[in-house]
Amino acid sequence: MSLAYPIARSLEEATQPGVKTARSLSEAVSLAPGYRVERLETGWLHLPEAEAIALLAAQGADGPAGHLQRYEDTSGNVVVAVSWWLIADPKSPPKPRPSPPPLPEPAPPSEETDHTDDLYFRRGRTKTRRRKAADPNQLDLFKAPKGG
């Protein structure tokens, strides 16, 4: 069972039984002729325990899945999240999307210089390869054969 969301104008309409559901934006557009699908909206319902159970049970096993989710707030009260395709009259102007907040200005470089690299990499990343002097006691291991 994949996620399907109701197509509605409001939160109250989205929780009514028998409302059309769509799995994708293109499906929502095709199922709501004469309306403009604005976005996938999420609303929160603070309900008593009995009403929340009844709302979730009304969804049924064969109905859409995923548009109703049960949570608890910090006090232990039931909160139901409802997701739905928000539709609007095509003649009404679309709501402007909020502009993203401006990026913070980068902090000016501090006057203190960071010497971390000097502490760890002052001798370079590679060691110089010095040839170790041969131990004179080990040179007799590979003598040339006598008499030969």
Position 33 scores a pLDDT of: 86
Write a three-state SS string for 48-89: CHHHHHHHHHHHCCCCCECCEEEEECCCCCEEEEEEEEEEEC
CB atoms within 10 A of CB 41: 16
pLDDT above 80 (res 22)? yes
The top-scoring range by mean pLDDT among 81-90, 124-133, 139-148 is 81-90
Does this model's pTM top 0.95?
no
Q: What is the dihedral of CA 71, 72, 78, 82, to 10 degrees?
A: -30
pLDDT, averaged across the chain: 79
- Which amino acid is present at 114? D
How far lies 41's CA from each of 3, 6, 58, 87, 88, in Å?
14, 10, 21, 10, 12
Residue 135 CA to its chain's centroid (Å): 63
Quickly state the pLDDT bin for 16 (edges 50, 70, 90).
confident
Residue 75 phi, psi (nearest 5)? -90, -5
| Percent of the chain whose predicted confidence (pLDDT) is above 70 | 77
- Summarised one tens digit per residue, pLDDT across range 47-101 is 888 888 888 777 765 555 667 888 888 888 888 888 888 888 877 777 777 788 8
| Percent of the chain whose predicted confidence (pLDDT) is above 90 | 0
Position 36 scores a pLDDT of: 87
Three-state secondary structure call for residue 27: helix
